Amino acid sequence: MKDIIISSKRIKKELNTLIVCFLIGFIANVGAVFYYKTAVSEIFTSLHYVLIFGAVTYSLWSIIKTTILLIIKVIKKNKADN
Amino acid sequence: MKNIDRRQFIKEMGMISGGVLLATSPWFSAFSDQKKTVGSKARIAIIGPGSRGQLLLSFLAKNPKVEIVAIADIYQPSIDAALKIAPKAKVYKNYKSLLEDKNIDAVVISTPLDKHYQMVMDAFDAGKHVFCEKSIAYSLEHTYTIYQKYLSSKKIFFVGQQRLFDPRYIHAIQMVHSGEFGDISGFRTFWHRNNDWRRPVPSANMDEYINWRLYKAHSKGIMTELACHQLQIGTWAMREIPNKVMGHGAITFWKEKREVYDNVSCIYVFDNGVKMNYDSVLSNKFYGLEEQILCHKGTIEPEKSKYYYEEIPPAPAFLQMVNDVENAMFGAIPFAGTSWVPETANTNNGHYLLDKKPESDGTSLMLEAFAEAVITQKQPALIAEEGYYATALSLLGHQAMEEERVLIFPDEFKLDYLNHKKTSSKV
User: Average model confidence (pLDDT) for chain A?
Assistant: 92
Q: How confident is the model at residue B169 (pLDDT cuts 50, 70, 90)?
A: very high
Q: Which of B34-38, B47-51, B384-388 has the lowest mean pLDDT?
A: B34-38
Q: Domain B3-164+361-383 - what CATH class?
A: alpha beta
pLDDT at B345: 80
Name the residue among B114, B57, B122, B125 with its Cα closest to residue B94: B122
pLDDT at B342: 63
Average pLDDT (A47-56) is 94
B410: amino acid identity, one letter? P
CB-based contact, A29 to chain B, within 8 Å: yes
Nearest CA in chain A to B313: A38
Average pLDDT (B341-357) is 81
User: How large is the C-alpha radius of gyration of chain B?
Assistant: 24
Q: How confident is the model at residue B426 (pLDDT cuts 50, 70, 90)?
A: very low
A36 chain-B contacts, CB cut-off 8 A? 314, 317, 320-321
> In chain B, where are the structural domains located?
3-164+361-383, 180-313+344-359+389-413
Distance, CA of B146 to CA of B158 (rounded, Å): 12
User: Cβ(B181)–Cβ(B175) under 8 Å?
Assistant: yes
pLDDT at B7: 66
Average pLDDT (B157-183) is 95
pLDDT at B3: 62
B6: amino acid identity, one letter? R
pLDDT at B349: 87
> In chain A, where are the structural domains located?
8-81
pLDDT at A4: 84
**Digit-coded pLDDT (tens) for B325-347:** 888 888 765 555 555 556 778 77
Query: Which fold is adopted by the domain B180-313+344-359+389-413?
Result: Dihydrodipicolinate Reductase; domain 2 (3.30.360)
**Digit-coded pLDDT (tens) for B104-130:** 999 999 999 999 999 999 999 999 999
CB within 8 Å: B318 and A45: no
User: Cβ(B218)–Cβ(B212) under 8 Å?
Assistant: yes
B424: amino acid identity, one letter? S
Nearest CA in chain B to A50: B318
pTM: 0.81
Beta strands in B73-165 (DSSP E): 90-92, 106-109, 129-132, 157-159
CB within 8 Å: A36 and B321: yes
**Digit-coded pLDDT (tens) for B45-103:** 999 999 999 999 999 999 999 999 999 999 999 999 999 999 999 999 999 999 999 99
Helix or strand or coil: residue B132?
Answer: strand
Angle, nearest 10°, between helix axes A8-35 and A47-81? 130
Q: How confident is the model at residue B427 (pLDDT cuts 50, 70, 90)?
A: very low
pLDDT at B4: 64
Dihedrals phi, psi of B245, to nearest 5 degrees: -145, 145
Average pLDDT (B379-398) is 97
Name the residue among B418, B54, B58, B41 with its Cα closest to residue B238: B418
Residue B290 C-alpha from the chain's centroid: 12
Q: Give the residue ranges of DSSP H helices in B349-409.
A: 363-376, 383-403
Q: How confident is the model at residue B219 (pLDDT cuts 50, 70, 90)?
A: very high
CB-based contact, A57 to chain B, within 8 Å: no
pLDDT at B411: 95
